A and B are shown apart, each in its own frame.
Chain A
Amino acid sequence: MYRQMVLIRHFEEHAAEAYAQAKIGGFLHLYIGEEAVAVGALAAARPTDPLLTHYRDHGYALARGCDPTRCMAELFGRATGLSRGRGGSMHLADRSRHFWGGHAIVGSHIPIGTGMAYAAKYHRREDVVLEFFGDGATGNGIFHEGLNMAALWKVPVVFICENNLYGMGATLAEESPVKDMVIRAEGYTMPARQCDGMDVLAVYETVQAACAHARGGNGPFFVECLTYRFRGHSMADPELYRDKEEVQRWRALDPIPRFGARLVAERLCTERELTAINEQVEQEMLQVVAAADAAPVPDPATVAEMIYANPIDPAAPVMALGAAPPPAPAAVLLGE
């Protein structure tokens, strides 16, 4: 878990650098400061549990074990990117790792995860769907529609709210009448628990309990992780809405040195070993950036491909779909 958090931190720092060099375009939302949430939560779940996140999604992809080079290549807009250069920073996804995407219309993925959980229950799979979103999403109607349905149909989903105190530039007090997001769950009779999102073990234990509840057929569970992003909302954010002292206060809670100190104090690890992990990860990241930078851009001739799984050309002879359902879209060929 320590290594994963370091991996995310270094990945994000390199992404920020590449953004400054204009190798990454559009929006770039960094996960720096919130690493304990993705790492602790995903360590507590099964690797086959479907994962859906908000657009600040790099940390989840890495914590799920997605190839860092393909993650970076997606940010660079390359053909080898996780989403083949069609998604970008906000739309990483890796079906082979049950990562069903970063979603960028705030809250929109909440009923989607609920529907996936219903399908898991319908097919008697043991999956628990993990849905991550921010405090800002709880102001959107779609959040409430998704929670209502999940509670109504008792589907196996764990809703995990990353409360980082800001919905972009709006403070929590400006966007919500309740300070604690767990209160939102009460209206849906959904059990909920709040935890320290800067403590990877606290997140791990809380999400472990939540997954056990949902996997046991008891319906959804709501987790609130109190966390903070050390950087701006996106690279374009001048951060006029929060003072530097507040940022410093939260930086003192940085989940990486905090967990490192605990590992050393409990004699599970030495300072030297932690330093070695940091150095190894940094070396790896240098290779990741170089490989992503060397990856081919998508072929413009393919720009209109993949809009449909079953493209229909009215000029072509009729193809009978026949009695059998079309093949599942599981097989995906990579390359341009």
Chain B
Amino acid sequence: MAASTYREAVRSALREEMERDPDVILLGESITGYGGSYAVTRGLVEEFGSHRVMETPIAEAGIVGFAVGAAMGGLRPVAELMTVNFALLALDQIVNSAAKFHYMFGGQWSVPMVVRTVSGFGQLGATHSQSFEGWFASVPGLKVVMPATPADAKGLLLSAIRDPDPVIFIEHSLLYSTRGPMPDDPAALVPIGRARVARAGTDVTVVAYSRMLLQALQAAEALEREDGCQCEVIDLRTLRPVDYPTVAASVRRTHRVVLCGEDWRSGGFGAALLAELQDLCFDDLDAPIARVAMRDVPLPYARNLEQALLPSSEQVVETVRSLL
């Protein structure tokens, strides 16, 4: 079985879709000569030309608006927004244009486009270290994907580009260099809207996505080793629509659930997930639904202060123990 880094998995999905479909174009800031802020698109402009790999002005709203129009004109644009923090400048185009047109104009056309963007941190300061997946996931009309593994990054991006609706595809800066196995079939799609049981267990369900999946899996190993506790770890993969059937089926077996995310606790994605799960699973629960989330503090620069805030595997361990 072949292995790949997360970065190379994203790049190969882009390259293969561009080879397969001449209507797929990429656009974003410094994605050509520079190769993208996280080097994901390196080499693609040489391969496909500047009419398909477009260097844009620093204009996030314009980039997304342009991509919406390109999609309406028959292309399959993949817009890169350097980080999810900069995506705030494009919120209007994402929420009021991309997400609305199919419904608001009575189904006359859809907007087949992908916004690729990046969550993460690493002493980047308060404006460059945020997680906003919950905001996007609250908007009907969007699909929101947040892969944790290289195989899912590739398979979900292939699905996202082929999907006729707008997809917000959030990568994670601290995952780009991670390596993982890739499927034997390089063209294998991972369906949007399907969670994956990343580790089977019987005692507690731990729901995670993106980088928190790795923290959750580490925590599950520690809990097995130190407490003999078997965690079932679910990788949500898609945040809209959420695969509630998979999560609920797990909670019906374990009767306990911990929700993990890196966004702020108040109003974060986990808060919405919790509310929905309480409706779905209340009778199955033996303990209140617990959360691991970012404290409601802007991310500081100093390394020790930042570390004090970041959700970690230790926090997952402690939270699981609090339920047992």
Which A residues are within 8 Å of any B CB, using their own CB? 50, 81-87, 91, 93-95, 100-101, 103, 105, 108-120, 122-123, 141-142, 145-146, 148-149, 152-153, 305-310, 312-315, 318-321, 323, 325-326, 329-330, 332
Contacts and interface: CB of A to CB of B under 8 A. Distances in A.
A307 B102 contact: yes
Given A101-B105, A146-B62, A308-B102, A116 B73 contact: yes
A95 B65 contact: no
Given A101-B101, A306-B103, A307-B141, A95 B109 contact: yes
B194 A84 contact: no
A111 B105 contact: no
B245 A329 contact: no
A106 B103 CA distance: 20
Contacts of A313: 193, 241
A178 B103 CA distance: 38
Contacts of A122: 25, 51, 70, 73, 75
Interface stretch (B7-15, B90-98, B217-225): B90-98
B70 A115 contact: yes
Contacts of A109: 65, 97
Nearest to A147: B62
B191 A318 contact: yes
A118 B243 contact: no
Given A111-B93, A306-B107, A321-B191, 9 more contacts: A86-B105, A108-B93, A108-B96, A114-B69, A115-B72, A115-B73, A119-B75, A122-B51, A319-B191
B70 A306 contact: no
14 contacts: A81-B106, A91-B105, A105-B96, A118-B66, A123-B73, A145-B65, A146-B65, A149-B56, A149-B62, A308-B164, A309-B165, A310-B163, A314-B193, A314-B243
Nearest to A105: B96
B104 interface: yes
A314 B57 contact: no
A318 B155 CA distance: 14
Contacts of B69: 111-119
Interface residues of B, number: 62
B73 A50 contact: yes
B194 A309 contact: no
B162 interface: yes
A243 B174 CA distance: 61
Contacts of A108: 65, 92-93, 96-97
Contacts of B68: 111-112, 115
B108 interface: yes
Contacts of A113: 69
Contacts of B71: 115
Interface string B253-287: 00000000000000000000000000000000000
B115 to A, nearest CB: 13
A62 to B, nearest CB: 17
Contact of B110 (A116, A141, A309): A309
A323 B20 contact: yes
Contact of B57 (A116, A120, A145, A320): A145
B66 A84 contact: no
A83 B162 contact: no
Give the residue among B62, B67, B165 with the most A Cβ atoms within 10 A. Answer: B62
Contact of A123 (B20, B74, B93, B194): B74
A187 to B, nearest CB: 13
Contact of B163 (A50, A320, A326): A326
B124 interface: no
A149 B192 contact: no
A50 B191 CA distance: 34
Contacts of A332: 106-108
B104 A83 contact: yes
A308 B62 contact: no
A118 B106 CA distance: 25
B242 interface: yes
Give the residue among A83, A114, A312 with the most B Cβ atoms within 10 A. Answer: A312
Contacts of B105: 83, 86-87, 91, 93, 95, 101
Given A112-B72, A306-B107, A332-B108, A325 B21 contact: yes
A112 B191 contact: no
A142 B65 contact: yes
Give the residue among A94, A146, A314, A321 with the most B Cβ atoms within 10 A. Answer: A314
Contacts of A310: 110, 163-165
B106 A87 contact: yes
B131 to A, nearest CB: 23
Nearest to B159: A321
B143 interface: yes
A192 to B, nearest CB: 20
Contacts of B228: none
Contacts of B200: none
Given A87-B106, A332-B108, A321 B96 contact: no
Contacts of B107: 84, 305-306, 309, 329, 332
A150 B89 CA distance: 19
B77 interface: yes
Contacts of A145: 57, 59, 61-62, 65
Contacts of B307: none
Contacts of A84: 106-107
A145 B137 CA distance: 27
Nearest to A103: B97
Contacts of B48: none
A122 B51 CA distance: 8
Contacts of B112: 309, 326
B244 interface: yes
Give the residue among A81, A108, A115, A152 with the most B Cβ atoms within 10 A. Answer: A115
A153 B195 CA distance: 41
A306 B106 CA distance: 7
